[in-house]
Protein backbone atom coordinates (compact mmCIF):
# COMPACT_ATOMS: atom_id res chain seq x y z
CA UNK A 1 0.00 0.00 0.00
CA UNK A 2 1.32 3.46 -0.83
CA UNK A 3 0.15 7.05 -0.56
CA UNK A 4 0.03 9.55 -3.43
CA UNK A 5 0.02 13.33 -3.06
CA UNK A 6 -2.28 14.83 -5.71
CA UNK A 7 -1.74 18.59 -5.98
CA UNK A 8 -3.26 21.36 -8.06
CA UNK A 9 -1.36 24.54 -8.84
CA UNK A 10 -3.52 27.58 -7.98
CA UNK A 11 -1.15 30.53 -8.32
CA UNK A 12 1.55 32.63 -6.69
CA UNK A 13 0.49 34.95 -3.90
CA UNK A 14 2.43 37.29 -1.66
CA UNK A 15 5.04 38.42 -4.16
CA UNK A 16 4.81 42.24 -4.29
CA UNK A 17 6.94 42.47 -7.44
CA UNK A 18 4.67 40.34 -9.66
CA UNK A 19 2.96 42.40 -12.35
CA UNK A 20 0.89 41.39 -15.41
CA UNK A 21 3.10 40.06 -18.19
CA UNK A 22 5.70 38.39 -15.92
CA UNK A 23 6.66 34.77 -16.59
CA UNK A 24 7.33 32.37 -13.71
CA UNK A 25 8.72 28.88 -13.39
CA UNK A 26 8.14 26.63 -10.38
CA UNK A 27 10.32 23.61 -9.67
CA UNK A 28 9.41 21.08 -7.01
CA UNK A 29 11.62 18.22 -5.88
CA UNK A 30 10.54 15.50 -3.47
CA UNK A 31 13.22 12.85 -2.98
CA UNK A 32 14.06 11.54 -6.46
CA UNK A 33 10.79 12.85 -7.99
CA UNK A 34 10.74 16.16 -9.84
CA UNK A 35 7.99 18.38 -11.22
CA UNK A 36 8.19 21.65 -13.15
CA UNK A 37 5.58 24.09 -14.43
CA UNK A 38 5.62 27.43 -16.20
CA UNK A 39 3.18 30.24 -15.66
CA UNK A 40 2.25 33.68 -16.90
CA UNK A 41 0.82 36.44 -14.74
CA UNK A 42 -2.22 38.08 -16.33
CA UNK A 43 -4.30 41.13 -15.38
CA UNK A 44 -6.76 39.19 -13.21
CA UNK A 45 -5.54 35.58 -13.40
CA UNK A 46 -2.52 33.34 -13.69
CA UNK A 47 -2.07 30.67 -16.38
CA UNK A 48 -0.04 27.58 -15.43
CA UNK A 49 0.95 24.59 -17.55
CA UNK A 50 0.58 21.86 -16.31
CA UNK A 51 -2.03 22.63 -13.66
CA UNK A 52 -1.85 19.48 -11.49
CA UNK A 53 0.58 16.72 -10.55
CA UNK A 54 0.96 13.64 -8.35
CA UNK A 55 3.89 12.45 -6.22
CA UNK A 56 4.35 9.15 -4.42
CA UNK A 57 4.79 9.71 -0.70
CA UNK A 58 8.00 8.50 0.95
CA UNK A 59 9.22 8.87 4.51
CA UNK A 60 12.24 11.03 5.28
CA UNK A 61 12.72 12.72 1.89
CA UNK A 62 13.28 16.47 1.61
CA UNK A 63 10.60 18.63 -0.03
CA UNK A 64 12.12 21.54 -1.99
CA UNK A 65 10.24 24.30 -3.84
CA UNK A 66 11.97 26.84 -6.08
CA UNK A 67 10.24 29.72 -7.85
CA UNK A 68 12.01 31.79 -10.52
CA UNK A 69 10.39 34.68 -12.32
CA UNK A 70 11.41 36.73 -15.35
CA UNK A 71 10.52 40.40 -15.40
CA UNK A 72 9.13 41.46 -18.77
Does the pLDDT value for residue 13 go beyond 80? no
Number of structural domains in the chain:
1
Q: What is the pLDDT of residue 42?
A: 85
Q: What is the pLDDT of residue 72?
A: 57
**What phi and psi values does residue 41 have, to the nearest 5 degrees?**
-85, 125
- Tell me the residue range of the domain where 48 lies: 4-70
Nearest-CA neighbor of 25 among 44, 13, 12? 12
What confidence tens digit (pLDDT) does each residue in 15-66 have?
667 788 888 888 888 888 898 988 888 888 888 888 888 888 888 888 888 8
Amino acid sequence: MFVVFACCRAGLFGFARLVPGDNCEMQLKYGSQKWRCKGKIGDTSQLWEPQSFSLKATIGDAFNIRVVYDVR
